Amino acid sequence: MSESATQAEHRTVLLRGGEVHSPADPFATAMVVERGHVAWVGSEGAADAFASGVDEVVDLDGALVTPAFVDAHVHTTATGLALTGLDLSTAASLVEAAERIREYAAARPADRILIGHGWDASRWPEQRPLGRDELDRLTGGRPLYLTRIDVHSALVTTAMLDLVPAVRGMGGFRDGEPLTGDAHHAVRAAAYSAVSPEQRTEAQRAALRHAASLGIGTVHECGGPDISSEDDFTALLKTAAEGPGPRVVGYWADTDVERARALGAAGAAGDLFADGSLGSHTACLHEPYADAPHTGAAHLDAAAVAAHVTACTEAGLQAGFHAIGDRAIGNVVEGVRAAADALGLARIRAARHRVEHAEMLTPETVAAFAEFGLTASVQPAFDAAWGGDTGMYAQRLGVERARTLNPYAALLRAGVPLAFGSDSPVTPVDPWGTVRAAAFHRTPEHRISVRAAFTAHTRGGWRAVGRDDAGTLVPGAPADYAVWRTGELVVQAPDDRVARWSTDPRSGTPGLPDLTPGNPLPECLRTVVFGQTVYVRPGE
């Protein structure tokens, strides 16, 4: 939504009779919104002075008002296609996945190409993906493109391969195994090119509606030539600008910095691949996988990273990289250091470059992130899905290495800026679930407070795009907020290492919902972006 274009439509609104999460007043129960910004927060008694001078008074009836969430890593069209298409993320076995594929193919006889997402053989009792012959039978020999949960490998039918004849000679093609690397990218391009502009717009709108229904006011789209298409990227930015809905900040993962700028991207960043993923055995490691005799593959070396960071910094754009394995993260750090040596540390820090995922960190790379002002754009739901001593991370790396992953507490202690996201459709858009996953990390020493996690998923997303004036409900900030039905508010710390004063009501720290596992998550009643309502729960 264009902020300037909608200013004239804004009405002055008083919200009262609830709980307003604001550092300006930890006991606030009311808020005034005017011209798309927060104009005032305060007590119920003081709200009486505003009641006669506003266009609308909203009785919150005890509801909680918070800043709207920012999902700092989304693949919007793919998310929408998963919402409206074949989703295998909840399939509990190979047999169940096969039946869903068969039913989906039978229900969509007119589709040129069948597209699905979300299989994860590491969760299935069979411990193997479906074979190509099986998929050919299930689809009646039609083209099918089916991404693994991490989107770094895919299953395809023979008919899908035949649409890209050169694929059998590309890197990442091994007959009988899921596609990775260049082979996967080529088939993905062919599959998505078969999606009509109308289907694409439908998917994008579905994804943005879904995000709004969960209290998300902004998403960071992570596109790129190996992920989507230029048409997909520009169409999404246009759809979002036409609103109403969550605003979209676009990142285009391309070493062609001027091309990224021309497409309207905030940075030549996002999923610019330094490596792949752990689930697909393509993340780049220093030591071999525990369950495979290799170390993955690096897509960018330190010299390439340095060249890109230098070019982006000089162009006034953010650089950013997808880096998961410890060797890949080391290459990124080494390259950023070389750029800092050339341009000066101050310029690198001011540019707020990003690293997406940043899972296999060491104390040395954590310190380097802090030194260079790199934002760690991370996904706590990854730990909830694959962490722990028996999860996929432990299968791939062994328990000892798996326990080092996603060290959020160490990042915060070092002063590294955190921005939380979902990487949807890899893991679902689920902001409160994401906050819970960080606060109740499967490895206890990596846990952070609910307040710190909430900040990373609100203000952290704004800071990651260079905005320090947003993400909190204080006078002058953009009026991006969500209204929630929830239980008692508390100040929740991960354990006794957090100073006890901070959890005492007398500290004046505003409370948040109790996210203890097993408790219901807050329910979104309304989402507002720059003063414009973009979602209202049915019946409200």
Write out the residue range of the structural domain in which residue 148 sits: 78-194
**Cis amide prior to 244 (ω within 30 degrees):** yes
- Interval 422-445 mean pLDDT: 97
Least confidently predicted of 175-189, 205-219, 304-318, 495-509: 495-509
What is the residue type of 147?
A: T
Residue 9 has pLDDT above 80, yes or no: no
Residue 455: strand, helix, or coil: helix
Regarding whether 178 and 97 lie in a shared domain, the answer is yes
Regarding whether 109 and 160 lie in a shared domain, the answer is yes
Torsion (CA) 150, 152, 157, 163 in degrees, nearest 10: 140
Residue 508: strand, helix, or coil: coil
pLDDT of residue 38: 97
Give 179-182's long-range contacts (Cβ < 8 A, gap of 24+).
Answer: 179/153, 179/154, 179/155, 180/152, 180/153, 180/276, 180/280, 180/282, 181/276, 181/282, 181/297
- Interval 486-491 mean pLDDT: 89
DSSP state of 389: T
Regarding whether 167 and 108 lie in a shared domain, the answer is yes
Regarding whether 62 and 33 lie in a shared domain, the answer is yes
Return the CA Rg of the chain: 23
Regarding whether 168 and 105 lie in a shared domain, the answer is yes
Least confidently predicted of 132-141, 280-289, 503-512: 503-512
Tell me if 460 sits within 8 A of 70, measured CB to CB. yes
Regarding whether 135 and 49 lie in a shared domain, the answer is no
Tell me if 524 sits within 8 A of 75, measured CB to CB. no
Query: Rounded to whole angstroms, what are the CA distances from 170 to 167, 174, 255?
Result: 5, 9, 22
- Interval 387-392 mean pLDDT: 96
Over the stretch 65-115, which tens digit does the pLDDT of each residue have? 999 999 999 999 999 988 888 989 899 999 999 999 999 999 989 888 899
pLDDT of residue 179: 93
Over the stretch 222-235, which tens digit does the pLDDT of each residue have? 999 988 899 999 99
In a domain, residue 55? The reply is yes
pLDDT of residue 13: 96
In a domain, residue 242? The reply is no
Boundary of a domain, candidates 155, 170, 194: 194
In a domain, residue 531? The reply is yes
pLDDT above 90 as % of the chain: 81
Regarding whether 180 and 142 lie in a shared domain, the answer is yes
Q: Provide φ and ψ at 491, rounded to 5°.
A: -110, 110
pLDDT of residue 507: 52
Q: Could you tell me the CATH number of the domain that includes residue 149?
A: 3.10.310.70
pLDDT of residue 8: 40
Boundary of a domain, candidates 151, 174, 194: 194
Regarding whether 157 and 121 lie in a shared domain, the answer is yes
Which tokens hold the place of 529?
Answer: 């972006």
Regarding whether 98 and 44 lie in a shared domain, the answer is no
pLDDT of residue 199: 84
pLDDT of residue 500: 39
Regarding whether 93 and 62 lie in a shared domain, the answer is no
How many domains does the chain contain in total?
A: 2
pLDDT of residue 499: 39
What is the distance between the alpha carbons of residues 125 and 500, in angstroms, rounded to a whole number? Answer: 45
List all residues 6 or more positions away from 99 whose beta carbon is below 8 Å from its beta carbon: none
What is the distance between the alpha carbons of residues 247 and 513, in angstroms, rounded to a whole number? Answer: 25
pLDDT of residue 161: 95
pLDDT of residue 5: 40
Within 10 angstroms of residue 248's Cβ, the number of other Cβ atoms is 23
In a domain, residue 45? The reply is yes
Residue 494 has pLDDT above 70, yes or no: no
Q: Could you tell me the CATH number of the domain that includes residue 29?
A: 2.30.40.10
In whole angstroms, what separates CA 509 from the centre of its chain? 27
Alpha-carbon dihedral sign for residues 256, 261, 267, 270: negative
In a domain, residue 136? The reply is yes
Regarding whether 82 and 184 lie in a shared domain, the answer is yes
In a domain, residue 316? The reply is no
- Interval 118-132 mean pLDDT: 93
Boundary of a domain, candidates 148, 176, 194: 194
pTM of the predicted structure, to 2 decimals: 0.89
In a domain, residue 153? The reply is yes
In a domain, residue 158? The reply is yes
From the list 320, 325, 321, the residue with the least C-alpha distance to 277 is: 325
Least confidently predicted of 35-39, 167-171, 256-260: 167-171
CA angle 184, 156, 132 (to 5 degrees): 130
Residue 328 has pLDDT above 50, yes or no: yes
Residue 151: pLDDT band by 50, 70, 90 thresholds? confident
Least confidently predicted of 9-18, 325-334, 406-415: 9-18
Residue 472 has pLDDT above 90, yes or no: yes
